[in-house]
């Protein structure tokens, strides 16, 4: 049997790529988790709400189930609609393994967006989250409980843990730069730093297990290649205590515009998590709703254990306006049908 410390290390690693903590393959559909500077960053809408759900490694002994819900809105626009404040809230929950190792997080985000001119914008944001970690040690077995034939749960585990819960605050900062030279091209580069305060996360009496700072970066491009076709390549990178995760690929939006001026779109594409999995994506956008599904097809040596069955993920989002008076209020250049 592995020791508890090795077990917890394995559970914290959501993928062979190794980035610790909650993550989604559809990182572009979890904008506040990706970077707080994304809060309220919408070209033609006033607010948005969304949910994400992920099931990972369901056919191995330590599966993950991750859920997220978030919402954000715009306030305090100046008269030229070029500067505004973004406020957001989010809830994230992750559960894994036989010991139900859990992370629940409530997060508040704030960002300010400044359009420098007709072609450039900068954004800066911050978030503070309250995190609750828990584990049920009674559901776990250890090598000292093996009697030669079976694991006897009546025997002492021999693990000197102090508690089965841990609570802390988690601070994150982020910035974005966007360039939009015309209505057919939009480029955004962002950087974030999670665990800025390096909170201590431990179930033991004296162990000092401070989370390492987690720098993250992403690049997102929207290119309208035709009247009914948009190409959306993007890249995401995160690093923490020597472990790293790199995902890159592209989405493609094909207009299947309906009647009465509605612009529906079919979304499809593929991403690759370096050294770990291929991620095909398919979705649909109609009116202001968007639904997307993806599946991680494991390509690493771990495929022998999970039979290439990495993770299923779904996201649902909605973007809206405060009132009909907001319709057509303009906004910075961003490719759209």
* pLDDT reading at 140 higher than 60: yes
- Give the CA distances from residue 90 to residues 121, 174, 197, 262, 319, in Å, rounded to whole numbers and listed in that order: 25, 16, 19, 30, 16
Distance CA 208, CA 87 (A): 34
Please say whether the beta carbons of 272 and 29 come within 8 A. no
195-204, 225-234, 320-329: segment of lowest average pLDDT: 320-329
Distance CA 263, CA 239 (A): 38
Percent share of the chain, pLDDT over 70: 88
CATH number for region 4-326: 2.40.160.40
Tell me what pLDDT residue 11 has: 37
How does residue 326 score in pLDDT terms, banded at 50, 70 and 90? low
pLDDT, average across residues 74-90 = 91
pLDDT, average across residues 58-81 = 87
* pLDDT reading at 17 higher than 60: no
How does residue 70 score in pLDDT terms, banded at 50, 70 and 90? very high
Tell me what pLDDT residue 287 has: 84
Helix (H, G, I), strand (E, B) or coil at 7: helix
Tell me what pLDDT residue 57 has: 81
Q: Pick the residue with more confidence: 322 or 262?
A: 322
Tell me what pLDDT residue 21 has: 65
Q: Pick the residue with more confidence: 216 or 96?
A: 216
pTM, full prediction: 0.86
**114 pairs with which residues across the strands?**
83, 122
Map tokens 């306006």 to a residue.
321
Tell me what pLDDT residue 8 has: 38
């Amino acid at each position: 049997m592995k020791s508890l410390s090795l077990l917890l290390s394995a559970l914290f690693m959501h993928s062979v790529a190794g980035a610790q903590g909650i993550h989604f393959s559809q990182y572009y559909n979890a904008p506040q988790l990706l970077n707080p500077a994304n809060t309220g960053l919408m070209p033609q809408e006033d607010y948005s709400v969304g949910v994400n759900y992920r099931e990972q490694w369901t056919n191995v002994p330590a599966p993950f189930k991750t859920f997220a819900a978030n919402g954000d809105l715009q306030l305090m626009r100046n008269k030229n609609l070029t500067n505004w404040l973004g406020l957001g809230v989010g809830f994230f929950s992750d559960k894994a393994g036989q010991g139900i190792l859990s992370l629940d997080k409530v997060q508040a985000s704030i960002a300010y967006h400044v359009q420098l001119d007709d072609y450039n914008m900068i954004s800066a944001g911050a978030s503070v989250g309250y995190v609750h970690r828990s584990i049920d040690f009674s559901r776990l077995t250890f090598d000292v409980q093996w009697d030669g034939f079976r694991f006897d749960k009546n025997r002492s585990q021999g693990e000197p843990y102090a508690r089965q819960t841990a609570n802390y605050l988690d601070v994150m900062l982020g910035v974005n730069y966007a360039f939009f030279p015309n209505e057919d091209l939009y480029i955004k580069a962002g950087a974030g730093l999670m665990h800025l305060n390096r909170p201590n996360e431990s179930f033991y009496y004296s162990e000092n297990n401070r989370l390492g700072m987690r720098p993250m970066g992403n690049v997102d491009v929207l290119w309208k290649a035709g009247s009914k076709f948009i190409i959306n390549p993007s890249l995401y990178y995160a690093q923490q205590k020597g472990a790293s995760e790199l995902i890159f690929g592209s989405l493609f939006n094909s207009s299947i515009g309906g009647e009465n001026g509605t612009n529906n779109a079919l979304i499809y594409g593929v991403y690759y998590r370096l050294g770990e999995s291929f991620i095909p994506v398919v979705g649909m956008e109609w009116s202001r709703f968007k639904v997307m599904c993806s599946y991680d097809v494991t390509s690493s040596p771990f495929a022998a254990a999970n039979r290439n069955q990495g993770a299923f993920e779904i996201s649902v989002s909605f973007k809206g306006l405060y009132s009909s008076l907001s319709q057509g209020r303009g906004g910075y250049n961003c490719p759209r049908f």
